[in-house]
Amino acid sequence: MDPERQRLYETCQRLGVGITVMKCFGGGDLLDAKLSPAGAALTVNQCIHYALTRPAVATVLAGAHSAEQFLTSLAYEDAGDAERDYAAAFASFPRIRWQGHCMYCSHCAPCPQKISVADVTKFLHLAEAQKGVPETVREHYALLPHHAGECVQCGVCETRCPFGVDVRANMRKAKEVFGY
Protein backbone atom coordinates (compact mmCIF):
# COMPACT_ATOMS: atom_id res chain seq x y z
CA MET A 1 0.00 0.00 0.00
CA ASP A 2 1.12 3.57 -0.70
CA PRO A 3 2.90 4.67 2.54
CA GLU A 4 0.96 7.94 2.68
CA ARG A 5 -2.32 6.08 2.37
CA GLN A 6 -1.16 3.58 4.98
CA ARG A 7 -0.48 6.49 7.36
CA LEU A 8 -3.98 7.87 6.74
CA TYR A 9 -5.56 4.48 7.52
CA GLU A 10 -3.47 4.12 10.67
CA THR A 11 -4.27 7.65 11.85
CA CYS A 12 -8.00 7.02 11.38
CA GLN A 13 -7.77 3.75 13.30
CA ARG A 14 -5.88 5.46 16.10
CA LEU A 15 -8.41 8.30 16.34
CA GLY A 16 -11.42 6.01 16.02
CA VAL A 17 -12.54 7.49 12.68
CA GLY A 18 -14.35 5.00 10.43
CA ILE A 19 -13.43 4.93 6.73
CA THR A 20 -15.93 4.26 3.97
CA VAL A 21 -14.28 2.67 0.94
CA MET A 22 -15.47 3.51 -2.55
CA LYS A 23 -14.36 1.86 -5.80
CA CYS A 24 -13.24 -1.31 -4.09
CA PHE A 25 -13.33 -3.03 -7.51
CA GLY A 26 -11.13 -0.31 -9.04
CA GLY A 27 -13.96 0.66 -11.36
CA GLY A 28 -14.22 -3.00 -12.37
CA ASP A 29 -10.54 -3.28 -13.41
CA LEU A 30 -9.62 -5.52 -10.46
CA LEU A 31 -12.17 -8.09 -11.63
CA ASP A 32 -10.58 -8.36 -15.07
CA ALA A 33 -7.14 -9.98 -15.53
CA LYS A 34 -6.47 -7.88 -18.64
CA LEU A 35 -7.17 -4.58 -16.87
CA SER A 36 -6.01 -5.32 -13.33
CA PRO A 37 -2.80 -3.47 -12.37
CA ALA A 38 -1.85 -6.61 -10.43
CA GLY A 39 -1.90 -8.68 -13.62
CA ALA A 40 -4.57 -11.06 -12.26
CA ALA A 41 -8.29 -10.90 -11.60
CA LEU A 42 -9.83 -10.91 -8.13
CA THR A 43 -13.36 -11.88 -7.25
CA VAL A 44 -16.01 -9.54 -5.86
CA ASN A 45 -15.80 -11.27 -2.46
CA GLN A 46 -12.01 -10.93 -2.35
CA CYS A 47 -12.13 -7.21 -3.19
CA ILE A 48 -14.76 -6.46 -0.56
CA HIS A 49 -13.03 -8.54 2.09
CA TYR A 50 -9.64 -6.96 1.44
CA ALA A 51 -11.16 -3.49 1.82
CA LEU A 52 -13.02 -4.42 4.99
CA THR A 53 -9.91 -5.85 6.64
CA ARG A 54 -7.81 -2.67 6.24
CA PRO A 55 -7.27 -0.61 9.41
CA ALA A 56 -10.19 1.69 10.30
CA VAL A 57 -12.39 0.59 7.39
CA ALA A 58 -16.00 0.43 8.59
CA THR A 59 -17.91 -0.06 5.37
CA VAL A 60 -17.67 -0.50 1.62
CA LEU A 61 -19.85 1.20 -0.96
CA ALA A 62 -19.98 -1.39 -3.75
CA GLY A 63 -21.00 0.23 -7.02
CA ALA A 64 -23.20 -1.69 -9.45
CA HIS A 65 -24.37 -1.18 -13.03
CA SER A 66 -27.14 -3.75 -12.75
CA ALA A 67 -29.29 -5.58 -10.22
CA GLU A 68 -27.24 -8.69 -10.94
CA GLN A 69 -24.00 -6.95 -9.96
CA PHE A 70 -25.65 -5.59 -6.84
CA LEU A 71 -26.78 -9.10 -5.84
CA THR A 72 -23.27 -10.44 -6.46
CA SER A 73 -21.89 -7.88 -3.99
CA LEU A 74 -24.68 -8.59 -1.52
CA ALA A 75 -23.74 -12.28 -1.60
CA TYR A 76 -20.57 -11.31 0.30
CA GLU A 77 -22.71 -11.34 3.45
CA ASP A 78 -23.28 -15.09 3.08
CA ALA A 79 -19.89 -16.00 1.63
CA GLY A 80 -17.68 -18.37 3.59
CA ASP A 81 -14.07 -17.79 4.64
CA ALA A 82 -12.69 -19.62 1.61
CA GLU A 83 -14.66 -17.44 -0.82
CA ARG A 84 -13.58 -14.24 0.94
CA ASP A 85 -9.95 -15.27 1.26
CA TYR A 86 -7.75 -13.02 -0.88
CA ALA A 87 -4.37 -14.21 0.47
CA ALA A 88 -3.46 -16.84 -2.12
CA ALA A 89 -4.56 -14.57 -4.97
CA PHE A 90 -2.49 -11.65 -3.64
CA ALA A 91 0.55 -13.84 -3.03
CA SER A 92 0.55 -14.99 -6.65
CA PHE A 93 0.12 -11.59 -8.31
CA PRO A 94 2.59 -11.54 -11.20
CA ARG A 95 3.18 -7.78 -11.06
CA ILE A 96 3.04 -6.94 -7.33
CA ARG A 97 5.05 -8.56 -4.56
CA TRP A 98 3.76 -8.52 -0.99
CA GLN A 99 6.37 -10.85 0.50
CA GLY A 100 7.19 -10.04 4.10
CA HIS A 101 4.23 -7.67 4.51
CA CYS A 102 1.38 -8.70 6.77
CA MET A 103 -1.92 -8.27 4.94
CA TYR A 104 -4.02 -9.01 8.07
CA CYS A 105 -5.63 -11.87 6.16
CA SER A 106 -5.65 -14.37 9.10
CA HIS A 107 -4.51 -17.16 6.83
CA CYS A 108 -2.06 -18.18 9.55
CA ALA A 109 -4.84 -19.07 12.02
CA PRO A 110 -5.45 -21.01 14.16
CA CYS A 111 -2.66 -20.30 16.61
CA PRO A 112 -2.38 -22.96 19.35
CA GLN A 113 -2.18 -20.11 21.86
CA LYS A 114 -5.33 -18.57 20.31
CA ILE A 115 -3.48 -15.37 19.43
CA SER A 116 -5.04 -13.38 16.60
CA VAL A 117 -1.83 -12.77 14.67
CA ALA A 118 -3.59 -10.38 12.27
CA ASP A 119 -4.93 -8.17 15.09
CA VAL A 120 -1.72 -8.17 17.10
CA THR A 121 0.28 -7.29 13.98
CA LYS A 122 -2.17 -4.55 13.03
CA PHE A 123 -1.87 -2.93 16.46
CA LEU A 124 1.92 -3.35 16.36
CA HIS A 125 2.04 -1.46 13.06
CA LEU A 126 -0.22 1.25 14.45
CA ALA A 127 2.05 1.63 17.47
CA GLU A 128 5.22 1.64 15.37
CA ALA A 129 3.84 4.42 13.21
CA GLN A 130 3.93 6.72 16.26
CA LYS A 131 6.68 7.78 18.64
CA GLY A 132 4.86 6.37 21.67
CA VAL A 133 2.00 3.87 21.78
CA PRO A 134 -1.23 5.89 21.39
CA GLU A 135 -3.72 5.36 24.19
CA THR A 136 -6.46 4.16 21.84
CA VAL A 137 -4.15 1.53 20.34
CA ARG A 138 -3.09 0.42 23.82
CA GLU A 139 -6.75 0.09 24.81
CA HIS A 140 -7.65 -1.91 21.71
CA TYR A 141 -4.68 -4.19 22.24
CA ALA A 142 -5.73 -4.75 25.86
CA LEU A 143 -9.17 -5.89 24.67
CA LEU A 144 -7.72 -8.78 22.64
CA PRO A 145 -8.41 -12.09 24.40
CA HIS A 146 -4.80 -13.24 23.84
CA HIS A 147 -1.60 -11.25 23.53
CA ALA A 148 1.80 -11.49 21.88
CA GLY A 149 3.42 -12.39 25.20
CA GLU A 150 1.59 -15.74 25.05
CA CYS A 151 3.41 -16.72 21.84
CA VAL A 152 5.48 -19.87 22.35
CA GLN A 153 7.41 -19.27 19.11
CA CYS A 154 6.26 -22.58 17.61
CA GLY A 155 6.27 -21.12 14.08
CA VAL A 156 3.15 -22.99 12.90
CA CYS A 157 1.62 -19.70 11.77
CA GLU A 158 4.56 -19.02 9.47
CA THR A 159 4.04 -22.30 7.60
CA ARG A 160 0.55 -21.06 6.65
CA CYS A 161 1.40 -17.45 5.80
CA PRO A 162 1.32 -16.95 2.02
CA PHE A 163 3.35 -13.74 2.38
CA GLY A 164 6.37 -15.12 4.22
CA VAL A 165 5.84 -12.87 7.23
CA ASP A 166 8.24 -13.35 10.15
CA VAL A 167 5.39 -13.74 12.63
CA ARG A 168 7.57 -14.88 15.51
CA ALA A 169 9.66 -11.71 15.24
CA ASN A 170 6.48 -9.62 15.12
CA MET A 171 5.13 -11.32 18.26
CA ARG A 172 8.42 -10.63 20.07
CA LYS A 173 8.30 -7.00 18.94
CA ALA A 174 4.67 -6.62 20.02
CA LYS A 175 5.48 -8.02 23.44
CA GLU A 176 8.29 -5.52 23.74
CA VAL A 177 6.15 -2.59 22.57
CA PHE A 178 3.03 -3.37 24.61
CA GLY A 179 4.75 -5.09 27.53
CA TYR A 180 2.76 -8.35 27.36
* Binding to ligand SF4, residues 56-95 (CB under 6 A): 87
Non-local (6+) Cβ contacts of 21 within 8 A are 51, 52, 54, 57, 59, 60, 61
Q: Which is nearer to ligand SF4, 62 or 127 (CB)?
A: 127
Q: Examine residue 161 and tell whether it contacts ligand SF4 (CB under 6 A).
A: yes
Q: Is 105:167 a contact under the CB 8 Å cutoff?
A: no
Among 11-19, 52-60, 67-75, 113-121, the segment contacting ligand SF4 (CB under 6 A): 113-121
Please state the closest distance from residue 149 (CB atom) to ligand SF4, in A: 10
With CB under 6 A as the contact rule, the residue among 38, 57, 62, 151 that binds ligand SF4 is 151
Please state the closest distance from residue 120 (CB atom) to ligand SF4, in A: 8
Non-local (6+) Cβ contacts of 137 within 8 A are 13, 14, 123, 126, 127, 130
Helix or strand (DSSP H, E) at 60: strand 57-61
Coil, helix or strand for 87?
A: helix
With CB under 6 A as the contact rule, the residue among 57, 117, 124, 126 that binds ligand SF4 is 117
Please state the closest distance from residue 166 (CB atom) to ligand SF4, in A: 9
Of 54, 51, 137, the closest CA to residue 62 belongs to 51
Coil, helix or strand for 18?
A: coil
Q: Examine residue 171 and tell whether it contacts ligand SF4 (CB under 6 A).
A: yes
CA distance 171 to 98: 20
Contacting residues toward ligand SF4, per CB under 6 A: 87, 102-108, 111-113, 115, 117-118, 121, 151-157, 161, 163, 165, 167-168, 171
